[in-house]
Structure 1
Amino acid sequence: MLAFNFTPFPTIETHRLVLRRITTEDVNEIFELRSNPETMKFIPRPLVKNTEDALEHIAMIEEKIESNVGINWGITLKENDKLLGIIGYYRMQPENHRAEIGYMLLPEFHGKGIIPEAVKRLIQYGFEDLKLHSIEAFIDPENFASEAVLLKCGFVKEAHFKESELYEGKFLDKVIYSLLNK
C-alpha cells in the first residue's frame, strides 16, 4: 500500500509562488481567511472567531502533516512571504492512491491566476512525488470560480450529489471533480 511521508516538509515553487509550511506566525492571515464569511461562503465549516481558533486550525494542519494523513501549504508570492491563501491535500486515501485537493485565497488576490498556478503545481507533486492515481475536488455547485479553476486544470465533473451534507440545519449539494494520472 502507498504510504505518505511529509518529512522533511516539501517547500514547492512555481513561476510566481512559494508553497511553504504554515506556522504560528501566519495566525493573522489564517484568522483573516477563516473568519471571512465571503472566503468561507462555500466551505461548510464554522467561522474562526478569534486568534485562538486560528492557532487551533494551524495546530490541526500541523498534526495532519506530522501524522502523514494530510498536508497544507501556505501560498505566498516569491517576493513577499505574507500568506495569501492555503492549498493542500485532504482526505488522503493511500489504499486507493487518491487524495482530495482544496484551496482558499484572500479576496484581494482573487482573479490573478494564483490558484490555477498553485493547483497545476500540486497536481504535478501529487502524481510525481506522492504517486497518486487520482485527485478529486469537492465543491459547492454555486462555486463557479472554483469550477473554472478545476476545468482549467484538466479536472472533469464526476458527480453531483443532491442535499448530501447537512450543515447548520440546511442540506447542501456537493459536486465532485476528478483528475486521473494518465
Structure 2
Amino acid sequence: MGKEFPEIETKRLMLRQVTVEDAKDMFTYLSDEDVVKTMGLDPCQTIEDACDEIKWYKSIYQENTGIRWGITPKDSGKVIGSCGFLNMHSKHHRAEVGYGLGKDYWGKGIASEALAAVVAYGYQQLQLERIEALIEPANLSSQKLVEKHGFTREGLLRHYEYTRGKFDDLYIYSIIRHEHFSKAGEKDEI
C-alpha cells in the first residue's frame, strides 16, 4: 500500500481515513449494542474506547495487514460507519472484508454502496484474488448484503471466534476475482 491513505468516492459517500477528530461520531454508533453485537466488540463506554478503535485502524494500515475507511456521507462529512479489509495476506492475495454502520443509516443502501467500492478497490488496487466475509448465522441482513454482491457461502466455521465471553460460529463467504469482474460486467485485467 502507498504512503498516503487512499480515499474512495462513490455517488453519495466519501470513504476516508478516520482521525481522533472523528471519535465522537464513531462513539455514537460504536456504543450501540445493536451495531456492535455482530462485530465481536463490546459497546464503547467512553470516547477513549472509540479512540482505541481509531488506533487499531491506523495500526493495521501501517502493518499492511488491513485498511479500514470511515464511511462519510458527502453532504455531512460525519463518520457514520466503517468498511475495509483485515487479515490481509499479500502472499496469498486474500483479505477479509468487514463493515459496520450506525443504526440510523440501516436500510438505505449505504453499506451496499461502501462494500461495492471497497471490494472493487481490493481487486483493482490491492491485486486481491479472494475476499472473504465472516458472518454470524443470526446476522441475516449481512448475509443478504454479501450475497447481493456475489459472495458465495462456503460453510460454517464452528466455534471460530471467542468474543464477548462466548464461542461464535461464523459463516464464511467469499468472492473470487473473476466472479467479481463477471458480475460487474468488467473485464478482468490480470
Q: TM-score range by the shorter chain?
A: over 0.9
Q: Does 1:88 align with 2:123?
A: no
Return the match for 1:127 from 87, 101, 123: 123
61-70 vs 77-86, greater mean Cα deviation? 61-70
Taking the TM superposition and a 5 Å limit, the aligned residue runs for 1:61-72 are 61-72=57-68
Amino acid at match of 2:161: E
Percent identity for Structure 1 against Structure 2? 38
- Structure 1 residue runs without a partner (length 5+): none
User: What do the CA deviations read for 1:112-155 (whole angstroms, capped 9, x no partner)?
Assistant: 00111111111111001100001000010110110111011100
User: What do the CA deviations read for 1:61-100 (whole angstroms, capped 9, x no partner)?
Assistant: 1122222221110101112101111001001011110000
**Residues 1:35 and 1:159: Cα distance change in structure 2 (over 3 Å):** same
User: What do the CA deviations read for 1:37-77 (whole angstroms, capped 9, x no partner)?
Assistant: 11012122222211111112111211222222211101011
Return the match for 2:49 from 44, 50, 53: 53
2: distance between equivalents of 1:103 and 1:8?
22
Q: Does 1:25 align with 2:21?
A: yes
- What is residue 158 of structure 2 aligned with on the other side? 162
Taking the TM superposition and a 5 Å limit, the aligned residue runs for 1:95-106 are 95-106=91-102
Number of residue-to-residue matches in the alignment: 178
- What is residue 37 of structure 1 aligned with on the other side? 33
Q: TM-score, normalized by length of structure 1?
A: 0.93
1: distance between equivalents of 2:39 and 2:125?
28
109-118 vs 66-75, greater mean Cα deviation? 66-75
- CA RMSD in angstroms comes to 1.2
Taking the TM superposition and a 5 Å limit, the aligned residue runs for 1:103-182 are 103-182=99-178
**Residues 1:6 and 1:107: Cα distance change in structure 2 (over 3 Å):** farther
Q: Give the structure with the higher percent helix.
A: 2
Cα contact 1:89–1:99 (8 A) shared by 2: yes
- What is residue 73 of structure 1 aligned with on the other side? 69
Q: Give the structure with the higher percent strand.
A: 1
- Structure 2 residue runs without a partner (length 5+): 179-190
The structural deviation recorded for 1:166 is 2.9
2: distance between equivalents of 1:21 and 1:169?
31
**Residues 1:80 and 1:67: Cα distance change in structure 2 (over 3 Å):** same
